[in-house]
Chain A
Amino acid sequence: DQQVKQNSPSLSVQEGRISILNCDYTNSMFDYFLWYKKYPAEGPTFLISISSIKDKNEDGRFTVFLNKSAKHLSLHIVPSQPGDSAVYFCAFQGAQKLVFGQGTRLTINP
């Protein structure tokens, strides 16, 4: 029973363009939605989050969108930079548990 799905295992974007990462979920009881970023040989680091009562949260180049009716979460990075190349995990908080997606490897090309 996979509650969280990141359907794109990889994404390649030109430097300066917008990167859009997507995540779908099935559990309506999630109350907090997060994005984590992971570089090789390092642990994931928190990037940005949004609560279930909002539909958008912005932090610099990063914006997270939540569409509750579609059960869809997305992360926009604009403009994309080479340092953004990493694996991105969406994560969903509910019932004191944090459930992670499978991850999307983002590559920013110069």
Chain B
Amino acid sequence: EAGVAQSPRYKIIEKRQSVAFWCNPISGHATLYWYQQILGQGPKLLIQFQNNGVVDDSQLPKDRFSAERLKGVDSTLKIQPAKLEDSAVYLCASSLRHRGPNTGELFFGEGSRLTVL
């Protein structure tokens, strides 16, 4: 079974530029998550989709970050304009169920490492 695919793996941009990350979840997984992991910290949820609807985006800096999940499958996360503090690994994850036992078990991709200069 293919895992969660993310691209690009690495991206270096200058501040005020824009960047986009792509994620393809595990086939059949209804819930998709974007997490931001800053060096030395745990992953922080940015946005959670259930199919193509947003369940939680309370920690997404909406003035510069946007995300969409068209057709309930692939998702893109965009940052525009980027700031120095956006340097982090952006992790995409998916899960089969939104509710029920083991709802916390997520399957993560390898992440996209962003460096903002």
Contacting pair A97 B56 (CB below 8 A): yes
A85 at the interface (CB under 8 A from B): no
B4 at the interface (CB under 8 A from A): yes
B14 at the interface (CB under 8 A from A): no
The interface bits of chain A over 18-51 (1 if a CB of B lies within 8 angstroms of the residue's CB, else 0) are: 0000000000000010100000011111100101
Instruction: Tell me whether A32 and B103 are in contact in the complex, defined as CB-CB below 8 angstroms, given that A89-B42, A100-B42, A101-B42 are known contacts.
Output: yes
- Give A84-101 interface residues, CB cut-off 8 Å to B: 89, 91-93, 96-101
Residues from chain B with Cβ under 8 Å of A99 in the complex: 45
B interface, size bucket: 20 to 34
Chain A interface, number of residues (Cβ within 8 angstroms): 25
A41–B10 CA distance with the chains assembled, in angstroms: 11
Min Cβ gap A55→B in Å is 17
- Closest-by-CB residue of A relative to B111 is A43
B interface with A by C-beta (< 8 Å): 4, 33, 35, 40-45, 48, 55-56, 91, 93, 98-99, 101-111
A interface with B by C-beta (< 8 Å): 4, 6, 9, 32, 34, 41-46, 49, 51, 89, 91-93, 96-103
